[in-house]
Chains A and B, each alone.
Chain A
Amino acid sequence: MKDRINGIRKEARASWWEDGITEIVAGLGVLVIGSVGISGYALEGRVPPWSYAVFILLMVALAFGIRWVVLWAKERWVWPHTGYSVVKGRGGKYLIPFYLIVFALLALAFLFPSYTPIVGGTVGAVILVSLALYNGLRRFYALALLSFVLGILLYSVGIRDDRATFLILIGVGSVMFFLGVLRFARFKREVSSAHEG
């Protein structure tokens, strides 16, 4: 009985991710944040202070704005086919720990700058594994592994400053976006074949 309850609860939470829209929006957001940081470096030859400000602003905008964008997209492309459902925004209670982790990461990177890629990759992996466990999303384990491996890889090739964090964000964001697009394409195909059938 307990397994059945947990199974249905997990299925209800996973339904939020089944069409790929959340991954497209989150992946794109993370990709943009990383790209802004790395563009600052490309322009000035170092990570300029303004890119940190933009980085933090975009992080806050992504955390609060992702739900609106996803709801807007689902209303147009998903709910007419699957039925309407909105997952509970339990993210709110995780926002404070999330920002504590981000600031701890910044502090660690400040104190031990050469370990920035390893710390960044590990924190990314922890966040992604938590999402995978809570929502029953196995593909997020692969993203977590990617984040961790990228951290190690950047450390070993000698990219040990804040560029590493931005490169990890670009790597994870683009793969997440790509996975989301694939998932959305599959979803659209299934929906149209269901209509034909």
Chain B
Amino acid sequence: MRDNLYSKLSSLDRTINEPARLSIMAALYDLKEADFVFLQRLTGLTRGNLSAHIYKLADKGYIAVEKRFVGKKPVTVCRLTPEGERAFREYVRVLEDLVKGKGD
């Protein structure tokens, strides 16, 4: 049981298991899409910090980043990919199991 809990703990996705990236993933999970300005406001990260974490998540294929116009304004829009959604759900599930002490 204890070994299982340890193996669960080590199975937590390391890309998501970082406070800033977890905040970005959690914010995007309920949004269809959002731009940098909005994510910066919601997560409280600096622009450079946010940008670095976004591109790390994008490299992993969890987030799709796209530059386009909303109205007349150019924006950098981010959204979770289906793979990102799956990874986030799995991360939360493992976390819940750990909190409940389930090591099955």
> Which A residues fall within an 8 A CB radius of B?
1-2, 4-5, 8-9, 11-13, 15, 75-76, 79-80, 82-89
User: How close is B39's CB to chain A, nearest CB, in angstroms?
Assistant: 7
- Number of cross-chain contacts by CB at 8 Å: 80
Assuming the A-B contacts A1-B95, A12-B42, A76-B71, are A84 and B26 also in contact, with contact meaning beta carbons closer than 8 angstroms in the complex?
no
Known A-B contacts A2-B96, A12-B31; A83 and B73 likewise in contact (beta carbons under 8 Å): no
- Cβ-defined contact, B38 with A9, below 8 A: no
- Chain A binding site: helix, strand, loop or mixed by DSSP? helix
Q: For the complex, give the distance between the alpha carbons of A12 and B70 in Å.
A: 19
Kindly provide the distance from the CB of A54 to the nearest chain B CB, expressed in whole angstroms. 32
Inter-chain contact B27/A83, CB cutoff 8 Å: no
How far apart are B53's CB and chain A's nearest CB, in angstroms?
14
Number of interface residues of B (CB under 8 A): 30
Once the chains bind, are A82 and B95 in contact (CB under 8 Å)?
Answer: no
**Contact of A83 with B32 in the complex, beta carbons under 8 Å:** no
Task: Please tell me if the beta carbons of A8 and B37 are within 8 angstroms of each other in the complex.
Answer: no
Contacting pair A15 B42 (CB below 8 A): yes
Across-interface contacts of B71 in A (CB, < 8 A): 75-76, 79-80
* Chain A residues with CB below 8 A from B40, complex form: 83
Given A2-B95, A86-B33, answer yes or no on A12-B75 (Cβ-Cβ < 8 Å). Answer: no
User: Can you name 5 A-B residue pairings with CB atoms under 8 Å?
Assistant: A4-B26, A5-B92, A9-B29, A12-B27, A87-B32
User: What is the chain A residue whose CB lies nearest that of B40?
Assistant: A83
Nearest CB to that of B36 among chain A residues?
Answer: A83
B28 to chain A, nearest CB (A): 8
In-complex Cβ contact of A8 among B23, B32, B77 (8 A): B23
Q: Decide if B41 is an interface residue (CB 8 Å cutoff).
A: yes
Are A83 and B39 in touch, CB under 8 angstroms?
A: yes
The 5 closest A-B pairs by CB, nearest first: A83-B37, A83-B38, A85-B34, A84-B35, A8-B26
